[in-house]
Amino acid sequence: MKLKRLLSGIKPTGELHIGHYIGAIKRFIEMQKDYESFVFVADLHSLTVNPNPKEIRENTRKIVELYIACGLDPKHTILFNQSENIYHTALSWALTCHSYMGELSRMTQYKDKSDGQKNESINCGLFNYPVLMAADILIYDTDVVPVGDDQKQHVELTRTLAERFNNRYGKTFKVPKPVIAKKGARIMDLQTPTKKMSKSDENKKGVINLLEDLEVARKKIMSAVTDSESIIKYDEKNKPGISNLMTIYACLTNKEIKEIEEDFKDSSYKDFKEKVADEVVILLKDIQKKYNEIKTDYIDNILNEGLIKVKEISKNKVLEVYKKLGLGRY
Ligand code: TYM
């Protein structure tokens, strides 16, 4: 039986944190054996926010190393770097010319990120970003796209663009589905638990990076902001801090929230935080051990192999699209 295709990626801006792990990487790992998996580093997307060449280059390699250290297995997952496969941008232009200014300007992430910047200085890539993301997905006839909930709207736009193109030119693209976890799709900042944990955050006390010093990570959990009620009960609205810690704990131990409420019904916040910190430290320790053992050549070989496979598939899709659009002499 032919496996369905999974695709997802992460931008190489800033450090990867436990939100990326829980909301995205952990899902890729759980799903990789049941799908034909494609996971990449979205380096072209990082140009929209922080065009710092040295940082992009270093972070791109680091992300691939972390993918592997976290448990992505090149036997099951094709790993590659987005910009090395030139066909993504070739499809992106064709899709740009089928996207509307109105729909792109309604994207929440665009509105958030452009907010505070004067219109004059907003990079056009930030506006067009979801179209490139749609190209990343549609170029491989992807079935499922596991992402955190901030990316759901972009996958929905991808579906709209695929349907629009198919209606105009005949069936060309598979219409993909976003896969969003029931828990862990939005890990919150430890200091401001009403806000998503984010790599661009100024207050580093609220974010735990995957390569964080273990003692620092423990302290960050212990000093996470909670309420004064001291009852371990899941209530996102009224108790966002403790609910976030419960989500992290639930995802790392594969326990249900109800079970956690029951297990910790007589515990203090301090005791519970210690248990959460233990789980986070176990995770980071394991990832960091594997990360430190990875050799550069190994990464290059994996990326080279991945690139050969993805180029072949995506070239055919771009030619099909160009032909339908009357472009070139195909
Ligand atoms: P990026 O790099 O911002 O985030 C990568 C993935 O991590 C998830 N994530 C989180 N999940 C839970 N809690 C958090 N605090 C948290 N922070 C981040 C994101 O939802 C995402 O799944 N545009 C994408 C990259 C991309 C892509 C694609 C993804 C480019 N092309 C095609 C899927 C398919 C991005 O910037 O994600």
- Return the CATH number at 220: 1.10.240.10
User: Between vectors from CA 312 to CA 309 and to CA 313, what angle results, nearest 5°?
Assistant: 90
Calpha distance 285→177 (Å, rounded): 34
Give the pLDDT confidence score for residue 257 in this predicted structure.
Answer: 98
Q: Are residues 145 and 278 in the same domain?
A: no
Residue type, 106: R
In a domain, 286, yes or no: yes
Distance 148 CA to ligand 1 centre (A): 6
Q: CA-CA distances (angstroms) from residue 93 to 51, 111, 170, 270? A: 21, 22, 19, 53
Q: Count Cβ atoms within 10 A of the Cβ of residue 323 and give its class: 0-12 exposed, 13-18 middle, 19 or more buried.
A: middle
Assess contact for 283 and 246: CB atoms under 8 A: no
Residues in the chain: 330
Q: Are residues 311 and 229 in the same domain?
A: no
In a domain, 156, yes or no: yes
In a domain, 37, yes or no: yes
3-class secondary structure per residue, the chain: CCCCEEEEEECCCCCCEHHHHHHHHHHHHHHCCCCEEEEEECHHHHCCCCCCHHHHHHHHHHHHHHHHHHCCCCCCEEEEEHHHCCHHHHHHHHHHCCCCHHHHHCCHHHHHHHCCCCHHHCCHHHHHHHHHHHHHHHCCCCCEEECCHHHHHHHHHHHHHHHHHHHHHCCCCCCCEEECCCCCCCCECCCCCCCECCCCCCCHHHCCECCCCHHHHHHHHHCCCCCCCCCCCCCCCCCHHHHHHHHHHHHHHCCCHHHHHHHCCCCCHHHHHHHHHHHHHHHHHHHHHHHHHCCHHHHHHHHHHHHHHHHHHHHHHHHHHHHHHCCCCC
Residue 13 Cα: closest atom of ligand 1: 2
In a domain, 330, yes or no: no
Distance 292 CA to ligand 1 centre (A): 24
Give the pLDDT confidence score for residue 122 in this predicted structure.
Answer: 82
> How many CA atoms lie within 13 Å of 126's alpha carbon, on the beta-carbon side?
18
Give the pLDDT confidence score for residue 250 in this predicted structure.
Answer: 98
Distance 143 CA to ligand 1 centre (A): 17
Q: Are residues 120 and 240 in the same domain?
A: no
Residue 23 CB less than 6 A away from ligand 1: yes
pLDDT in tens, the chain (330 residues): 789 999 999 999 989 999 999 999 999 999 999 999 999 999 999 999 867 999 999 999 999 999 999 999 999 999 999 999 999 999 999 999 999 999 999 999 888 888 766 666 788 999 999 999 999 999 999 999 999 999 999 999 999 999 999 999 999 999 999 999 999 999 999 999 999 999 876 668 999 999 999 999 999 999 999 999 999 999 999 999 999 999 999 999 999 999 999 999 999 999 999 999 999 999 999 999 999 999 889 999 999 999 999 999 999 999 999 999 999 988
Residue 14 CB less than 6 A away from ligand 1: no
pTM: 0.96
Cβ neighbours for 298, distance < 8 A, ≥ 6 positions apart: none
* Atom 9 of ligand 1: nearest residue by CA position: 20
Radius of gyration of the chain from its Cα atoms, rounded to whole angstroms: 21
Q: Are residues 89 and 116 in the same domain?
A: yes
Residue 146 CB less than 6 A away from ligand 1: no
Q: Are residues 172 and 302 in the same domain?
A: yes
Q: Count Cβ atoms within 10 A of the Cβ of residue 189 and give its class: 0-12 exposed, 13-18 middle, 19 or more buried.
A: buried
Q: Are residues 59 and 138 in the same domain?
A: yes
The candidate with the shortest Cα–Cα distance to 149, out of 197, 81, 220, 221, is 197
Give the pLDDT confidence score for residue 202 in this predicted structure.
Answer: 64
* Atom 4 of ligand 1: nearest residue by CA position: 10
Residue type, 307: L
* Atom 7 of ligand 1: nearest residue by CA position: 20
**Whole domain around residue 217: which residue ranges?**
204-291
Q: Are residues 258 and 115 in the same domain?
A: no
Residue 10 CB less than 6 A away from ligand 1: yes
Strand partners, 81: 41
Q: Are residues 82 and 231 in the same domain?
A: no
Residue 130 Cα: closest atom of ligand 1: 23
Q: Are residues 287 and 313 in the same domain?
A: no
Give the pLDDT confidence score for residue 51 in this predicted structure.
Answer: 74
Q: Are residues 180 and 217 in the same domain?
A: no
Tell me, what CATH number does 161's domain have?
3.40.50.620
Q: Are residues 136 and 208 in the same domain?
A: no
Residue 139 CB less than 6 A away from ligand 1: no
Mind listing the pLDDT tens digit for each residue in 187-226?
A: 999 999 999 999 876 668 999 999 999 999 999 999 999 9
In a domain, 192, yes or no: no
In a domain, 196, yes or no: no
Give the pLDDT confidence score for residue 50 in this predicted structure.
Answer: 67
Active site members = 113, 196, 199
Q: How many domains does the chain have?
A: 2
Distance 116 CA to ligand 1 centre (A): 22
Give the pLDDT confidence score for residue 115 in this predicted structure.
Answer: 75
Give the pLDDT confidence score for residue 123 in this predicted structure.
Answer: 85
In a domain, 59, yes or no: yes
Give the pLDDT confidence score for residue 196 in this predicted structure.
Answer: 95
* Atom 33 of ligand 1: nearest residue by CA position: 8
Mind listing the pLDDT tens digit for each residue in 68-96?
A: 999 999 999 999 999 999 999 999 999 99
Calpha distance 133→92 (Å, rounded): 8
In a domain, 198, yes or no: no
Q: Are residues 262 and 303 in the same domain?
A: no
